[in-house]
Amino acid sequence: MQDKELNPDALEIINDVRIAEKSGERIPMYEMNHIKAREAYLAMRSSLSPDAPDVLEIKNLEIPLENHNIKARYYRGINKNKNHMAPVTIFFHGGGWVIGDLDTHDVVCRQLANQGNFDVIAIDYRMGPEFRFPTAINDAIESINWVKNNPLTLPIDATKIAVCGDSAGGNIATVSCIHSKINSGPLISFQALVYPSTHMGMHYPSKDKYDGYILSKKLMSWFEEKYIDKNQLVDWRAAPMVYEDLSNLPNSLIVVAGCDPLKDEGVAYGEALIKAGNNSEIVVFDGQIHGFLTMGARIKDTEKLINLLSIKISEAFQ
């Protein structure tokens, strides 16, 4: 463990987790079934997130697929004009492709809609173990196409679409960009990836160095077992780092936490995008931990991150 590297706000949370696990008050997620883990994740997010800010409009949606409807949620920020045509950011929540939902990241989506010059649509893609790889990816791709076609005539400019996601959601967002490139659309203007999973199943030094800071090797193995078969880990949709041609992708912001097991692969992916000729910015929040995007009640850097995402995505639409 590298406690001396941790931001003081992050260290407080890590120590709270240690005390709760030692007393038996908190059970590690990898010792739960997926249903209990989802409940625990929602409860943890609720305790670490600030109060939900008001927005001008919030609307629950259903995206029709061939044999299933995906839930989604539309946000328009508090200071926006109700009828103004705005760009849109499609948001994919984190949670290891197993946990998380529209509610775990509701505060983040509200904050982005309020602070950015765009609307937000969050996608409740299907997850493992009920729906294994590549269902989540396929749901994301179909959701982006649905937003592009805008059948509900939401007041959005569907020629200006960004994608954003944290952790597993960052994986889904960037894979969607590669898919759009392969299929010549729909056009995605920008990708904002927050501590993304980019090389599942591969070892990086940060996975040892920061093991147990919210994310652990045991928990990552638990996620993988529920989401994907081992022989699929080489698929670029699970590990976009292995895709053979990363050129001509949307401009990107890649944010990594300095004390995160996923730090090294996030940085490596950003560097690979730059090497392939893309405009990609890598920002490291020193001392921070995996998941801090949704910890704004306890971590001051979360506000800085929300501001950064709002500014960079807004600039991409100008």
d(CA 188, CA 44): 32
- In the numeric block, the tokens 């904002």 are attached to 192
The first and second tokens of residue 76, run together, are 């328009």
Residue from 206, 290, 301, 314 carrying the catalytic annotation: 290
Q: Active-site residue 199, yes or no?
A: no
φ and ψ at 60, to 5 degrees?
A: -80, 135
Nearest to 156 by CA among 120, 111, 109, 122: 120
d(CA 140, CA 34): 21
Element (H, E) at 61: strand 57-64
d(CA 38, CA 65): 24
Nearest to 122 by CA among 131, 132, 113, 134: 113
Residue from 119, 124, 260, 264 carrying the catalytic annotation: 260
- In the numeric block, the tokens 């490291």 are attached to 284
Q: Active-site residue 167, yes or no?
A: yes
Q: Do residues 313 and 285 make contact, with C-beta atoms less than 8 angstroms apart? A: no
For residue 96, the Cα-to-chain-centroid distance in whole angstroms is: 10
Residue from 49, 143, 167, 280 carrying the catalytic annotation: 167
Q: Active-site residue 290, yes or no?
A: yes
Distances (CA, A) of 126 to 71, 135, 177, 228: 9, 7, 19, 13
Task: Just list the catalytic residues.
Answer: 167, 260, 290
